[in-house]
Amino acid sequence: MTDKPNESSEPTPPRTQPVVSGQAAPSPYDSPTGEIPVVKSGAGENVPRTEDELGLDPEVPGVGERTEPIANRPAEEPTEPVTPAYAFASIPPAPAAGEGGLRRRGDYRRGTLDLGLLGLRLVVGLTFLYHGLQKLAGWFHGPGLDQTRAMLEQGGWKHGELSTAMLSVAEVGGGALIVLGLATPLAAGAVLASITDAWLWKQGMAPGFQYKPVELESILVGLAATLILTGPGRLSFDRNRGWATRPMWGSVTALVLALIAAAASWIYLHGGNPFTGFFD
């Protein structure tokens, strides 16, 4: 053994010393615009050097991505954009235009209509309530029940007690409900029936057909009938009812029934032709 490292048996190629001259050694990069010699394959064909010669697709797929040949790909059809749905959305979508919210907005464009109907109810209701309390309780210097019954019997009404009770209840109950705007078609129908009979009675007390004796009763008949057809409005206890703001066939039915009740009570409790006079 020796301290010298093992020497290879192959001979070491001799090192060439750079030629030192007055000019630097030429390099292929000194002239980049120079023409690169054409390299040919063993078959004598030119070796491709650019992407165009190689026929590479400029859109090179990523690593691991499987692609199909362009000739085998189906023709893409235009599709509508898909609206993304977010699972974390908690706010419901806004209602589309033209739904019930916009239709209901038109119902509130009533201006002062409800205020006018309130005034109509107060005039009609308080008038009947005033006269009813005069007959029922004798308030406001009224005749009371006894004198009211005697007055009706002298005027040709039959069944004095029944006539007095029906008249007092219709005026007091109907007038109070009209002021409140509660069960308005029934309340207005009750006062319409009672005031219609009063119109027939006062018309029969005068000789022939005259308007002046029944002028006040004619106005009250028209107001009560109008209230049935218009409804009490939103400023009433019936504001959530259909007849309060948009009365239809139900109100017409209430008007017809009130007139039928007036005719039936007139025939049963009094009778006679009011247009010729009771004393002719």
How many C-beta atoms surround the C-beta of residue 6 within 10 A?
Answer: 6
Top pLDDT among 105 and 154 is at 154
Mean pLDDT of the 238-267 span: 94
8-state DSSP, 90? -
Q: Could you tell me which of 145, 147, 128 has the C-alpha nearest to residue 136?
A: 145
Q: pLDDT value at position 210?
A: 81
Q: How far is CA 48 from CA 45, 128, 171, in A?
A: 9, 113, 114
Instruction: Specify the pTM.
Output: 0.62
Instruction: Write down the mean pLDDT value for the chain.
Output: 79
Using the Cα atoms of residue 26, residue 27, residue 33 and residue 37 in order, give the sign of their dihedral: positive
Q: Phi and psi for 191 in degrees, rounded to 5?
A: -70, -30
State the Rg of the chain over Cα: 54
Q: What is the pLDDT of residue 276?
A: 79
Does residue 174 register a pLDDT over 70? yes
DSSP structural state of residue 122: H
Average pLDDT value for residue range 262-276: 91
pLDDT in the model for residue 102: 45
Q: Is the pLDDT of residue 131 over 50?
A: yes
**55 pLDDT higher than 70:** no
Q: Could you tell me which residues come within 8 angstroms of residue 129 by beta carbon, excluding any fewer than 6 positions away?
A: 171, 172, 175, 176, 179
Output phi, psi for 40, to 5 deg. Answer: -115, 150
Contacts 24+ apart (CB under 8 A), 111-120: 113/233, 114/233, 114/234, 114/235, 115/233, 115/235, 116/233, 117/227, 117/230, 117/231, 117/232, 117/233, 117/235, 117/236, 118/181, 118/233, 118/235, 118/236, 120/223, 120/226, 120/227, 120/230
- Average pLDDT of the residues in 9-18: 54
